[in-house]
Structure 1
Amino acid sequence: METTRVLVEEDIVIVGAGIAGLTTALGLHRLGITSLVLESSDKLRAAGFALTIWKNAWKALDAVGVAHILRPKHLQLQGNEITSLITGQHTSTISFKEQGKNEIRCVKRHLMLEALASELPSDRIRYLSKVVAIEESGFSKILHLSDGTTIKTKVLIGCDGVNSVVAKWLGFKEAAFATRSEIRGYAEYKNNHGFGPKFMYFFGDGFRAGVIPTDEKSVYWFFTWNPTSQEKDQEHNSANLKQFMLDKLEKRPSDVRSVIENTELHNLFSSRLRYRHPWELLFGNISKGNVCVAGDAFHPMTPDIGQGGCSALEDGVVLARCLGKTFSKKQGTHLKDDDEHLEEQQYKRIEEALKKYANERRWRSIDLIATAYMIGVIQQGGSKLVGFLRDKFLATFLAGVLLKKSGFDCGKLDNC
């Protein structure tokens, strides 16, 4: 039996209901502009459990009006503490209070996505909607979904992650694999876990780990290392991975080590780290005509400066702002008119808006990708020289870099 093809028309279609997609949709909604978000899953996906939200990302969340929902549910972190598991010594302790006004919290990913989605009209997220093909149609794009539905749109925004269909259409190659892998986990306690509101980083021989409380009863943690071929084969065996980490972290303080011991296997996730080469953003098409990308579809990066999700929030605000003026009623883009000249004018305005977005985000993204990659190399270097320099001289410097990169301000929605 042949699948029925349904043609739906939308001004703006956003592929992917992740951080970038929902932020863009909500930013547009705040400006009175309707969009449709397509999500291939049957619900919001929150892989990764939690993420660090730095000062720059809180500005973006304030801009779209959901920061006040998330702040009361998460601890504000007061500083970080770095420990070498090779020497057993604390190598650096930094207070965020001393560094100026730095709002930093470890936020549960599902709570963030729910906060963003809850502010959108319920019919503006279409689940089980996987895009399998993109077709040109005059000044519009036709999206073909796996269920046979076709959607015609004036603007196509790809927020569909590291394996983005839209990024591929724009000419981007698949994101490169770093040599490292990461295990992330999430432990929940019946009572207070007892940890203070701070980052706890640990460096070992060729690996690093971190423990960050999200609230009084929940703790997020990560472990990154350079896996051997045999270890790569075990990356989807949660029980083996858990034991592997406990063996590696035998010199870790018992209270911190207990976080991993108390993590249920279903709250443990492993993946190989991926990133996009900076020169691809320099020479590639972040936007082309009425199509663009945002979030991990645009700038996947290693997690070493904690800016992947934060920069996706920035993308959403900037993109909504750039499109906002284009789709204002003054520009007449809401007129239902078959005049080809008007359609061409509208297309050119959209194209210019997306170019403006791409130019505004290009160098910021290149900077973050390159910085994250280099810091990852330094932090996880296995040689004695790198370890010595890191422990004695670089720990404080690297912590300062994290704060510096979070000093960026993406601006408000209406400051066009």
Structure 2
Amino acid sequence: MSLPRAIVVGAGIGGLTAAVALHRRGWRVTVLERAPALEPVGAGIAVAPNAQRALDVLELGDAVRALAAFSGTGGLRTPRGRWVSRTTGEAAAARFDGPVVLAHRAELVHLLVDALPEGTIRTGTTVTGVAPGAPGGAPAEVTAGRETAEAELLVAADGIHSRTRATLFPDHPGLAYAGFTAWRFVADAPPEGYVPHETWGRGRLWGTTPLTEGRVYCYATAVTPPGEHAPDDERAELRRLFGDWHQPVPRLLDAVAPGAVLRGDVHTLAAPLPALHRGRVALLGDAAHPMTPNLGQGGCQAIEDAVVLARLATADGELAAYTERRLARTTMVAHRSGRIARLTTWSSGPAVAARTLLFGAGRLLGPTAALRTLDGIADWRPPRADDPN
């Protein structure tokens, strides 16, 4: 018998993980990516223990753990540099049975691409139409230019502005602006001496994370109207917003080229989707449940989605079990991340002072206090092989 066919739309972290997972379970997989080449943006990704365990199913977990660049102390600071709270990699590993691995996105992409058969990924291919098909009936159809292809399963991993989501759920209200924009860059700076931290100010946030190979990943957010851009360049904008904050913030801004800073408004869904599937089409990652970056779980939840989908998908196209397994969980993670995001947007002096006191009190409870936001998230485990569901 011929292998069941799966088409994955989008070659981001979630789409590539789904392709590997489906390939490992005997599907004939094609990945359609609209970009002309797989060139991951210059950004980092946090791979928490829940995502690492999902990647263990694909025998890639240890390779990701090997990318870890730091296992010491990190925490939360004020713009003047005072430590508000601290935690340790050892505390995270003890609480969640594994550390959080901070890696360059390109490193994870390369691991996933190398796990796929040659010719699986077709770049420069823009999907212009989708027909969802029906479980047990017509296959799903994908149109790209003048070509149409059929598959027993279509995986929509086409990102936060997913055309597939809009096609499947035309009455859904769509995206909502989260109230702030984000910047990201990777600087060539020796990571020795750089301690992972976030610094929270009035409506602004800065994060520094050491990576491997002499690089440091930096990210920042600020409350701004949507759609704005710097009048000169985004590095100059970051200097205006963060240039007088504690070191190493100014030093890292000096280490990056003006054109290497990425900027993007942060959006979430105005309401959860009614389901993560329709017909033979399953949505995953940002196409299904975009969330704020404050828990570092966007990519992790996409990886979870992919492994669970591959475990549950069958050639007859019935995907209700996938929605049942993933919708409530991803909605919970998105809501929790959104609550933390709202804390970072506070700008009044009294509110920020109260926030600092609150997190400072958590410091008295030990290094595990800051990790509680990941309880019920980072301790997730994938379905067992003998799980009938």
Task: Report the TM-score, using the length of structure 2 for normalisation.
Answer: 0.88
Residue 316 (1) aligns with residue 306 (2): yes
Whether the 8 Å contact between 2:295 and 2:337 is mirrored in structure 1 is yes
Question: Quick one: which of 95, 101, 105 aligns to 1:105?
Answer: 101
In the TM superposition, what is the alpha-carbon distance from 1:276 to its structure 2 partner?
1.3
Q: The residue matched to 1:212 in structure 2 has which SS?
A: strand
Pairing 1:66-145 to 2, within 5 Å after superposition? 66-85=60-79, 88-99=81-92, 100=94, 101-135=97-131, 139-145=138-144
Structure 1, gaps ≥5 residues long: 1-8, 328-345
Q: The residue matched to 2:84 in structure 1 has which SS?
A: strand
Question: Quick one: which of 165, 168, 175 aligns to 2:166?
Answer: 168
Query: Counterpart in 1 of 2:258?
Result: 265
1:215 & 1:202 partners in 2: Cα distance?
Answer: 22
Residue 405 (1) aligns with residue 382 (2): no
Task: Report the TM-score, using the length of structure 1 for normalisation.
Answer: 0.83
1:162 & 1:234 partners in 2: Cα distance?
Answer: 20
Pairing 1:14-413 to 2, within 5 Å after superposition? 14-47=8-41, 49-85=43-79, 88-99=81-92, 100=94, 101-135=97-131, 139-146=138-145, 148-171=146-169, 172-189=172-189, 192-196=190-194, 198-228=195-225, 232-235=227-230, 240-277=233-270, 279-281=271-273, 284-323=274-313, 326-327=314-315, 346=316, 350-351=317-318, 354-394=319-359, 396=362, 399-402=371-374, 404-411=376-383
AA in 1 matched with 2:37: K
In the TM superposition, what is the alpha-carbon distance from 1:228 to its structure 2 partner?
4.7
Mean Cα displacement is larger for which, 245-254 or 121-130?
245-254
Whether the 8 Å contact between 1:27 and 1:413 is mirrored in structure 2 is no
Mean Cα displacement is larger for which, 12-21 or 74-83?
74-83
In the TM superposition, what is the alpha-carbon distance from 1:79 to its structure 2 partner?
3.5
Query: Counterpart in 1 of 2:366?
Result: none
Percent identical among aligned pairs is 24
1:115 & 1:103 partners in 2: Cα distance?
Answer: 19
Whether the 8 Å contact between 2:35 and 2:124 is mirrored in structure 1 is yes
1:228 & 1:361 partners in 2: Cα distance?
Answer: 32
Q: The residue matched to 1:193 in structure 2 has which SS?
A: coil
- Residue 51 to residue 305, structure 1, CA distance change in 2 (3 Å): same
Q: The residue matched to 1:392 in structure 2 has which SS?
A: helix
1:407 & 1:72 partners in 2: Cα distance?
Answer: 20
Q: What is the number of equivalent residue pairs in this alignment? A: 371
Structure 2, gaps ≥5 residues long: 363-368
In the TM superposition, what is the alpha-carbon distance from 1:170 to its structure 2 partner?
1.6
**1:33-68 C-alpha deviation (Å, 9 max, x unpaired):** 222111111222423511111111111121112223
Whether the 8 Å contact between 1:175 and 1:276 is mirrored in structure 2 is yes
- Residue 256 to residue 233, structure 1, CA distance change in 2 (3 Å): closer
Query: RMSD over aligned Cα, in angstroms?
Result: 2.3
Q: The residue matched to 1:220 in structure 2 has which SS?
A: strand
- Residue 414 to residue 111, structure 1, CA distance change in 2 (3 Å): farther
In the TM superposition, what is the alpha-carbon distance from 1:31 to its structure 2 partner?
1.7
Whether the 8 Å contact between 1:50 and 1:220 is mirrored in structure 2 is yes
Whether the 8 Å contact between 2:234 and 2:262 is mirrored in structure 1 is no
In the TM superposition, what is the alpha-carbon distance from 1:385 to its structure 2 partner?
3.2
2:386 & 2:9 partners in 1: Cα distance?
Answer: 24
1:216 & 1:185 partners in 2: Cα distance?
Answer: 15
Whether the 8 Å contact between 2:8 and 2:31 is mirrored in structure 1 is yes
Query: Counterpart in 1 of 2:365?
Result: none
In the TM superposition, what is the alpha-carbon distance from 1:78 to its structure 2 partner?
3.0
Whether the 8 Å contact between 1:19 and 1:313 is mirrored in structure 2 is yes
Whether the 8 Å contact between 2:6 and 2:152 is mirrored in structure 1 is yes
**1:180-239 C-alpha deviation (Å, 9 max, x unpaired):** 0001111013xx33234x42111112101100011250100111001257xx5324x6x5
Whether the 8 Å contact between 2:289 and 2:334 is mirrored in structure 1 is yes
Whether the 8 Å contact between 2:64 and 2:101 is mirrored in structure 1 is no
In the TM superposition, what is the alpha-carbon distance from 1:412 to its structure 2 partner?
5.2
Instruction: Please state which structure has a larger fraction of its residues in helix.
Output: 1
Q: The residue matched to 1:156 in structure 2 has which SS?
A: strand
